[in-house]
Amino acid sequence: MVTYIIRRLIGAVAMLIVISMVTFGIFFVVPQWAGATPEALASRYVGRAATPETVALIAERLGFNDPVVVQYGRFVKGLVAGAEYDYGAGVEQCPAPCFGYSFISGQPVWPDLVDRMPVTFSLAIGAAILWVLAGISVGVLSALRRGSFFDRLSMGTALAGVSLPIFFTGMISLVVFSYGLGWTPPGGAWTDFTVNPAQWAYNLLLPWITLAFLFAATYARLTRAGMLETMGEDYIRTARAKGLRENQVVVRHGLRAALTPLLTLFGIDFGLLIGGAVLTETTYTLPGLGQFAILAIRNQDLPQVMGVVLVAAGFVVVASLVVDLLYAVVDPRVRLS
Amino acid sequence: MNFLDVKDLKIHFPTDDGLVRSVDGLSFGLERGKTLGIVGESGSGKSVTSLGILGLHKGGRARLSGEIWLDGEELIGASSEHVRRLRGKKMAMIFQDPLSSMHPFYTVGHQIIEAYRIHNDVSKQVARKHAIDMLGRVGIPEPARRVDSYPHEFSGGMRQRAMIAMALSCDPELLIADEPTTALDVTVQAQILDLMRDLQREFNSALIIITHDLGVVAELSDDILVMYGGKCVEYGTTEDIFYRPEHPYTWGLLGSMPRLDREPTERLLPIKGSPPSLINVPPGCAFHPRCPYAERTKGKADTEVPALAETEGGHLVRCHLDRAERQSLWENEIKPVLETQ
Amino acid sequence: MANTALTQTYNPSTKKGGTLKAAHSADWDSLDPADTYYGYSFNFGRYYWRTLTTYKTGAGPDGNTVVPDLAEGLGQPSPDGKTWTYKIKSGLKFEDGSPITAKDVAYAVARSFDKETFPHGPSYLNELLDWPKDFKGVYKTPDVDYKSAVEATDDTTVVFHLKKPFASMDYVVQMPMTAPVPKDKDTGAKYKEKVVSSGPYKFETNEIGKRFTLVRNDQWDPATDPNRPALPDRIEVQLNVNADDLDNQLISGSIQLDIPGTGMQPAALGKVLPDPALKARTDNPTIPRLWYVSVIPENKPLDNIACRKAVMWAADRVANQTAFGGPVAGGEIATNVMPPPIVGQEKFDLYATPENKGDVEKAKQALAECGQPNGFATTMTFRSDRPREKALAEAMQQALARVGIKLTLKGFPSAAYFSDYAGNVNYVKENGIGLATHGWGSDWPDGYGFMQAIVDSRTIRDAGNYNLSVKNPEVDKLIDQASAELDATARAKLWVEVDKKVMEDASILPVVWAKSLLMRGKGVTNLAYNEGQSMYDYVLLGVE
């Protein structure tokens, strides 16, 4: 077990290294193929109508004149050993893990990432609770009343939920519930949990529901399919033959088995989400990792992109490891090796 | 009145393609301490019958009619909840494939304890002791250790023993075993059959063994009921069926019996064709499309449903052929072939 | 009523108090006065900084003139136009109570020189002032005396020394490079996290990239500042707000000010324009911004002026205007380079055609004169992430096809448009680019502010050009003349000459003088559109 975890963690680090190299490569090598010079790269990080002298200064300052390998080495060194940042009036130490400083704002990346994590965590956790509860209960009821009006209605709604993008449902719900009915706060409302839990929940309610709607739809469909399958299993017949009450049959024997495959999906979904719920955060102007990622990409701010990509990938890797460990607990047939 | 009496049981399933008559007018009786073998190919309605007795079709799409009397109680008209309370306690069932019939996520012990505690208001510790005890009684070595194993950690034979332990945990008075040995090796089959016979004697329960293989019931059964197309085609004592069978289908089953001394694929008197559709049951005698003697029925084979008629001493046969002709066919054509071994 | 705030103060008020809620759909480039180069930032920054001069506040044509702010009066140029002297008021204080002196202004100007630390800010003063050769900025070369460029001769006198005569200095010093910075509080690139206020408000909180809050600066003395009524007690700004949601919030009233002030998103326009009640809350000013097509004389046959004129004649101005969003959301059909809000602008039309739909006959004549009677083929670039530019390119393609000029359209991302494509000399040559969509807004509303960057051929370098097509020595000569002309009226006339020369050269095809559609926030008082800012005058605002 311990060996397994260690091996998985080593694999995870290797994967993060590959991801970082690919991200770095996309950022530097691809424009180089297209013929971009260090100055062309640097011209993204200067103001309007910057002079060639300014652009050249920035290219040098950001290290674009060095070979990509050297630049990557500098990035890795920053992560492992920390880095220094010259802000003109002095030099700042950036302790490891140092993801560097934003090309645009000059802000250190790591504290900014850490700062945004609670927002994304809050969003992901609340939404996950909602979508798991809603998705599973609707899925179970649909499966048990297969073909009924409820089944058709909920599966139709679920199809809509899967198909409609967040920025659509999000914007519509903002217009209806915030600006129309005034029940929920407008986009951009965020209060830290530690400051005011009630306000925290109130502000996040609409993003939670919107995000949960999307996922609940998938989970309802999968739960329904899983339940239909497991409820036809022999061991369900056995459970009934033992004289178990039907609700116990459904919950203890049916649901338990039907939900196990969902665990993997949930782990990955949740891992991805805490790495940034990009569309939801952008639509509702929540200052989380997803919004950070979008801004970083829009601004082509490499240190920020690297930071958010690695953090997000790290979450996914950890989530999938946790899922695999949990799987072994849930399904005794699974052996970790 | 018998301990179990099934009278004119019909179990029909409406489907988009038509009405499936899985069981269509079945009657039989069974005493405590006695064993009935129900024999037939897959789709003959034997498993549906057993699930019907346990009330597992209730609340589903099935249409049930007829009467099932268990120890003086009629079950078809009884409430689902009442039948549920009987299930597992008064009547229990052993399923065909113990790997798929036991929940993969729970230990064997957990599943036995669960079965026991449904009907007995005892603590988990008591139930656990009982489970270990039951596992020991069905011949599982080191039951106190194995009680915490998962089904996939058992061998096939051990799993079936565990399944039996689970079924017997509440001392059921009626035990139905549906193909209890099909999934097992031949040697293990024999052990399990011995075990079931011993346990039945010990518990003095009524036992129904459902199988497609006459060999399984040869040693165990007092009576045998042969089913075809949802109906009983021959019923008699084990001696009747093995030594004086009168239905061509039974002859076919006898000819299909796998034996230790033959390759499993080798059949002496294979039954041609496949089991009938339960939606469009062939007119007349359901067996006639596959019956080698259909032309000897004077044209009644595909027009008239033969009645289940008593020949002698409770031996019932559903066949258009004259009794004398049947006996002569058996003595002169079938028996010699079967005895060539 | 719509457009009320263009000519007068809407909902005038002197009532103090309340919180003004503002939002920005992107991030600030920087809150540091040395490191910012957006109109909204110059406008909004006046809440927490004061510069030597500023635009006259309020609505109406006076808004594009400058008035003193820190200074007691406008700049005093030397007769040769190379030295400008500003006297600043006394009794001015930073938020910490320390006095603001001429030294702090000179220091602020000097620190803005370091483009490695402040890459976003404008470089006018880097170019104009006579910096010592060995000066690399106040951080890298702290010992070099920069008095040859800017100096505080005493506590209240700032003197600028220019390399060559320059007349528009009063406009340049309204930019935030002259906002005073106390040297002992200067933290270089990190100063934007804690800017020391010289204006009526100071930072209470500042989360870079997310939000900040301004509260009253009790060290600011209203007696020294006739320009800022400083009505709200508090100003809250949220950054990186979803652009569509920002419009919704502005409509519903949960925010009161859209910081960028460049107009609403298409989604909101569709909602606002058909709704009389919402439309009544809007103002639709023409701003000093021109959308145009550069007609590049780099490649054959557009090196021939007759062929360029054929493009002028063949273009369908109405179709082009429609492509840019029509008369309300897009702008007014432009007939020359300088937009109406520029001081001294004159409207003229060298290529007038019936109903502005182009003149096929005249275009064909020009083509014949050019030796291409059957037309020719060339490539037109546009910014692919800007739907209006794409539509414009398509409209041009159709209109020019009428006279046999075949356009191949190529779209490129905004971020690399000037560095790698349309503004890259080699790319233009090698790929035979003939036409390029372009847009330009002025940094200040006079001829120099608008024209210099896009028509002076001497600004052209290998890559990153904004002047894509005007390479005319006569134009350059006129620019020098105008820059040195200290008489405002004569200067304005010279810029009109520049405009005419460019139009004669047929190297710019004007499309529209842009209009923006601004919405007045709910509950906002004392609101006026300022021509100098090309936006609402932020420092005037109050809340009910």
Mean pLDDT calculated for residue range C366-382: 95
Report B:119-158 residues touching A (Cβ under 8 A).
119, 150, 152
pLDDT above 60: residue C63: yes
Q: Using a CB-CB distance cutoff of 8 angstroms, which residues of chain B are in contact with residue A241?
A: 54, 56, 87-88, 92-93, 95
Could you tell me if C534 lies within 8 Å of chain A, comparing CB atoms?
A: no
Question: Does C188 sit within 8 Å of A285, measured CB to CB?
Answer: no
Secondary structure class of B311 (helix, strand, coil): coil
Alpha carbon distances (Å) from A145 to A132, A133, A227, A260: 20, 18, 11, 21
Instruction: Classify residue A280: in a domain, yes or no.
Output: yes
Question: Does A178 sit within 8 Å of C252, measured CB to CB?
Answer: yes
Question: Does C114 sit within 8 Å of A88, measured CB to CB?
Answer: yes
Cα(C220)–Cα(C213) distance, integer angstroms: 17
- Taken as a whole, chain A contains a residue count of 337
Cα(C140)–Cα(C279) distance, integer angstroms: 53
Instruction: Classify residue A275: in a domain, yes or no.
Output: yes
Mean pLDDT of chain C: 93
Token code pair at residue C328: 């309300």
User: Nearest CA of chain A to the CA of C245: how many Å?
Assistant: 7
Secondary structure class of C201 (helix, strand, coil): strand
Q: What is the pTM of this model?
A: 0.78
Could you tell me if A243 lies within 8 Å of chain B, comparing CB atoms?
A: yes
Residue type, A228: L
Q: pLDDT tens digit string along C517-540?
A: 999 999 999 999 999 999 999 999
Residue keyed to tokens 């809007």 = C282
Residues A70 and A126 in one domain: no
Backbone φ and ψ for A72, nearest 5 degrees, come out as: -65, -40
Residue A209's DSSP bridge partners are: none
* Whether A38 contacts A59, CB under 8 Å: yes
* Whether A319 contacts A268, CB under 8 Å: yes
* Whether C301 contacts C307, CB under 8 Å: yes
- Shortest CB distance from C117 goes to which of A88, A175, A291? A88
Q: How confident is the model at residue C481 (pLDDT cuts 50, 70, 90)?
A: very high
**Per-residue confidence (pLDDT) for residue B262, from 0 to 100:** 54
User: Most A CBs within 10 Å: which of B56, B105, B107, as the mutation test of the A interface?
Assistant: B105
Instruction: Classify residue A72: in a domain, yes or no.
Output: yes
- Shortest CB distance from A238 goes to which of B95, B119, B150? B95
**Domain end (from A29, A61, A94):** A94
Which residues, at least 6 apart from C250, have a Cβ–Cβ distance to it below 8 Å?
C23, C256, C257, C258, C264, C519, C521
User: Nearest CA of chain B to the CA of A336: how many Å?
Assistant: 16
**Per-residue confidence (pLDDT) for residue B41, from 0 to 100:** 86
Q: Using a CB-CB distance cutoff of 8 angstroms, which residues of chain A are in contact with residue B102?
A: 235, 238
Are B and A close enough to touch, i.e. 3+ CB pairs under 8 angstroms?
yes
DSSP at C87: E
Residues A124 and A84 in one domain: no
Question: Does B100 sit within 8 Å of A235, measured CB to CB?
Answer: yes
User: Most A CBs within 10 Å: which of C116, C236, C255, C452, as the mutation test of the A interface?
Assistant: C116
Q: How many domains does chain A fold into?
A: 2
CA nearest C113 in A: which residue?
A54
Cα(B224)–Cα(B210) distance, integer angstroms: 10
Vertex B304: Cα angle to B298 and B309 (nearest 5): 90
Residues A119 and A247 in one domain: yes
**Per-residue confidence (pLDDT) for residue B340, from 0 to 100:** 65
Residues A86 and A168 in one domain: no
CA nearest C27 in A: which residue?
A295
Cα(A204)–Cα(A185) distance, integer angstroms: 9
Alpha helices for A145-190 (secondary structure H): 149-163, 166-173
Alpha carbon distances (Å) from A332 to A93, A147, A223, A336, C36: 50, 34, 21, 10, 62
Q: pLDDT tens digit string along C104-113?
A: 999 999 999 9
Q: How many CB pairs under 8 A join A and C?
A: 151
Question: Does A333 sit within 8 Å of B86, measured CB to CB?
Answer: no
CA nearest C189 in A: which residue?
A87
Write out the DSSP string of C368-389.
HHHT-TT--EEEEEEETT-HHH
Domain that holds residue A76: 2-94
Could you tell me if C37 lies within 8 Å of chain A, comparing CB atoms?
A: yes
Report C:433-472 residues touching A (Cβ under 8 A).
453, 461-464, 466
Residue type, B109: G
Question: Does B56 sit within 8 Å of A241, measured CB to CB?
Answer: yes
Residues A122 and A233 in one domain: yes
Residues A168 and A230 in one domain: yes
User: Most A CBs within 10 Å: which of C210, C262, C424, as the mutation test of the A interface?
Assistant: C210
Instruction: Classify residue A99: in a domain, yes or no.
Output: no
Q: Using a CB-CB distance cutoff of 8 angstroms, which residues of chain A are in contact with residue B89?
A: 243
pLDDT tens for chain B, 341 residues long, are 789 999 999 999 998 888 888 998 999 999 999 999 999 888 888 889 999 999 888 667 888 899 999 988 899 888 888 999 999 889 999 988 888 899 989 999 999 999 999 998 999 999 999 999 889 888 889 999 999 999 999 988 888 889 888 988 888 899 999 888 877 777 888 888 888 888 888 888 899 999 988 888 888 899 999 999 899 999 999 999 989 999 999 988 888 776 555 555 555 566 778 888 888 888 888 888 888 888 888 888 888 889 888 888 889 999 998 888 889 998 888 888 877 65
Cα(C140)–Cα(B182) distance, integer angstroms: 89
**Per-residue confidence (pLDDT) for residue A182, from 0 to 100:** 80
Cα(C456)–Cα(C459) distance, integer angstroms: 6
Q: pLDDT tens digit string along A96-137?
A: 888 888 888 888 899 889 989 999 999 999 999 999 999 999
**Per-residue confidence (pLDDT) for residue B259, from 0 to 100:** 59
Cα(A279)–Cα(A211) distance, integer angstroms: 9
Residues A27 and A151 in one domain: no
Query: CA nearest C10: which of C541, C533, C516?
Result: C541
User: Most A CBs within 10 Å: which of C24, C32, C36, C115, as the mutation test of the A interface?
Assistant: C115
Token code pair at residue A88: 């003109």
Question: Does A332 sit within 8 Å of B105, measured CB to CB?
Answer: yes
pLDDT above 90: residue C491: yes
Residues A141 and A260 in one domain: yes
- Shortest CB distance from A243 goes to which of B87, B101, B103? B87
- Determine if the peptide bond prior to C122 is cis (ω within 30°): no
Pairing of strands C211-216, B308-310: unpaired
CA atoms within 13 A on the CB side of B298: 6
Token code pair at residue B127: 């139930």
Token code pair at residue C9: 């103060």
User: Nearest CA of chain B to the CA of A329: how many Å?
Assistant: 9
User: Nearest CA of chain A to the CA of C119: how many Å?
Assistant: 5
Backbone φ and ψ for C438, nearest 5 degrees, come out as: -160, 160
* Whether C543 contacts C16, CB under 8 Å: no
Token code pair at residue A143: 């499966």
Cα(B49)–Cα(B40) distance, integer angstroms: 12
Q: Using a CB-CB distance cutoff of 8 angstroms, which residues of chain A are in contact with residue C23?
A: 188
**Per-residue confidence (pLDDT) for residue A263, from 0 to 100:** 87
Alpha carbon distances (Å) from C199 to A17, C45, C224, C299: 49, 9, 11, 52
* Whether A219 contacts A269, CB under 8 Å: no
CA nearest A182 in C: which residue?
C252
User: Nearest CA of chain A to the CA of C72: how many Å?
Assistant: 31
Residues A116 and A251 in one domain: yes
Could you tell me if A232 lies within 8 Å of chain B, comparing CB atoms?
A: no
Please write down the long-range contacts of B194-199, taking CB distance under 8 Å and 24 or more positions apart.
Answer: B195/B138, B195/B139, B195/B161, B195/B164, B196/B164, B196/B220, B199/B137, B199/B138, B199/B164, B199/B168
Q: pLDDT tens digit string along C6-48?
A: 999 999 999 999 999 999 988 888 999 999 988 899 999 999 9
DSSP at B128: H
Could you tell me if C121 lies within 8 Å of chain A, comparing CB atoms?
A: yes
Q: How many CB pairs under 8 A join A and B?
A: 70
B partners (3+ CB pairs within 8 A) are A
pLDDT above 60: residue C417: yes
- Give burial (CB, 10 Å; 0-12/13-18/19+) of A309: buried
**Per-residue confidence (pLDDT) for residue A184, from 0 to 100:** 81
Which residues, at least 6 apart from C239, have a Cβ–Cβ distance to it below 8 Å?
C23, C24, C26, C27, C28, C209, C210, C211, C212
Residue type, A326: L
User: Nearest CA of chain B to the CA of A335: how many Å?
Assistant: 12
User: Nearest CA of chain C to the CA of A4: how many Å?
Assistant: 41
Task: Extract the residue ranges of chain A whose pLDDT is less than 70.
Answer: 336-337
Are A and C close enough to touch, i.e. 3+ CB pairs under 8 angstroms?
yes
**Per-residue confidence (pLDDT) for residue B256, from 0 to 100:** 77
Secondary structure class of C83 (helix, strand, coil): strand
Question: Does A188 sit within 8 Å of C249, measured CB to CB?
Answer: yes
- Shortest CB distance from A40 goes to which of C27, C238, C416? C416
Cα(A60)–Cα(C168) distance, integer angstroms: 33
Question: Does A237 sit within 8 Å of B95, measured CB to CB?
Answer: yes
Through-space distance between the first and last CA atoms of chain C, rounded to whole angstroms: 19
Cα(C124)–Cα(A212) distance, integer angstroms: 52
Q: pLDDT tens digit string along A34-65?
A: 777 888 788 888 887 778 888 888 888 888 88
Residue keyed to tokens 């782990």 = A267
Please state, as a whole number, how many other Cβ atoms lie within 10 Å of the Cβ of residue A81: 11
Residues A181 and A292 in one domain: yes
Strand locations in C296-366 (E): 331-333
Please state, as a whole number, how many other Cβ atoms lie within 10 Å of the Cβ of residue C519: 20
Residues A81 and A203 in one domain: no
Q: C214-240 in b/e burial notation, b at 16+ Cβ within 10 A? A: bbbbebbeeebbebbbbbbebbbbbbb
Instruction: Classify residue A101: in a domain, yes or no.
Output: no
Question: Does A188 sit within 8 Å of C23, measured CB to CB?
Answer: yes
Percent of chain C beyond pLDDT 90? 81
**Per-residue confidence (pLDDT) for residue B266, from 0 to 100:** 54
Cα(B123)–Cα(B115) distance, integer angstroms: 13
**Per-residue confidence (pLDDT) for residue A165, from 0 to 100:** 83
Residues A185 and A294 in one domain: yes
Q: In what order do the strands lie in the sheet with C286-295?
A: C331-333, C508-515, C286-295, C433-441, C377-383, C406-412
- What is the 3-state composition of chain B as percent helix, strand, coil, each rounded to the nearest 5? 35, 20, 40
**Domain end (from A94, A127, A155):** A94
Q: pLDDT tens digit string along C336-373?
A: 999 999 989 999 999 999 999 999 999 999 999 999 99
